[in-house]
Amino acid sequence: MRATGLTIAAASVILALAGCRKTPDGIIQPDQMTDLLIDMHKAEGVADMDYRDWGNDSSKLLLRDAVYGRYNADQAKVDSSLAYYGRHIGEYMDIYNEVITRLEEEVDRSEAIGNQSIHLTIVGDSANAWPLSRRIVLNSMSPAKVVAFSLNRDDNWENGDLYTWNAKIINARSSIKWHIGAEYTDGALEWNFVESNEGNDAVSLSLQTDSTKSVDHVFGYAVTSPMDDEIIYLDSISLMRERLNPLSYPRRNRQQRARPLSEDSISKKQ
């Protein structure tokens, strides 16, 4: 019985010490890291909605530094903190889940404003038309290993619009295959694709639509196969729409295309 009592006492001490583990000096503490990430997500949302004023790198850096300054941090401190939490994935997931929960609560409390904001993001020459959550988690237990979207044509679309799908990839060990495409009203298809490798990276995939045709809908999907213990975070997802730019239009030559099936071809297949 004495040995059992000592074992229980030792286990209690170990658990107490584990519970009291302190984040090292020089690392942003969990509560403050949560607040900082929430503010960063909000700042990125502002930049995405007001692309004309915040679309260039220098203005984004000013916005980022303003958020960091609120927490007496700089890029080096944020990078070292993210590296620390990346090595302590349990702590990182606690922070990440709290960030998602609080952002969702804010959206629920301001549903009317949120709906107005969504409307604003799809109107204008430079706009974010992304229709889903800007943060998505994929793992081996996810019901689907595919992120997909489809946008139907509306009054704000113009021939020759350029669509760019952006995302930050965190903690990936598996590759992700990204596709973006458009179907025209005549049935023709046009698409582009890229494969992102493992690690923490960013992906940016563009589709230049035909200036002589009307697009019926724009679609895209990202496919991956996470390992059993892998958790992939897709963050800061956006789908930027820009008007026709003669300088970027030649990129269409690198895209894949399929002509619409003629009535004769359809009859033969049937």
- Contact 156/174 with Cβ under 8 angstroms? no
What is the structure's pLDDT at 61? 74
What is the structure's pLDDT at 106? 67
- Contact 252/208 with Cβ under 8 angstroms? yes
**Strand partners for 203:** 167
**Strand partners for 235:** 168
Q: What is the third-level CATH fold of 126-260? A: Jelly Rolls (2.60.120)
pTM, entire model = 0.56
Q: CB 97: neighbour CB atoms within 10 A?
A: 12
What is the structure's pLDDT at 13? 40
For residues 236 and 253, give the distance between their C-alpha atoms in angstroms, rounded to a whole number: 29
Q: What is the DSSP letter of 262?
A: P
Please report, in tens digits, the pLDDT of each residue of the chain (270 residues total): 444 444 444 444 433 434 445 778 888 999 998 888 888 877 776 665 555 555 566 666 777 787 888 888 888 888 888 888 878 877 877 887 787 778 777 665 544 434 444 433 444 567 888 888 888 888 877 666 788 888 988 888 999 999 999 999 988 888 899 999 999 999 999 999 998 876 678 899 999 999 999 999 999 999 888 888 888 888 889 999 999 988 889 989 999 998 875 544 434 444
Burial 204-221 (b: 16+ CB within 10 A, else e): ebbbbbbeeeebeebbbe
What is the structure's pLDDT at 82? 82
Q: What is the DSSP letter of 59?
A: H
- Please state the domain extents for the chain: 25-117, 126-260
What is the structure's pLDDT at 190? 94
Q: What is the DSSP letter of 252?
A: G
Going 106 to 111 to 112 to 115, the CA torsion angle's sign is positive
What is the structure's pLDDT at 40? 80
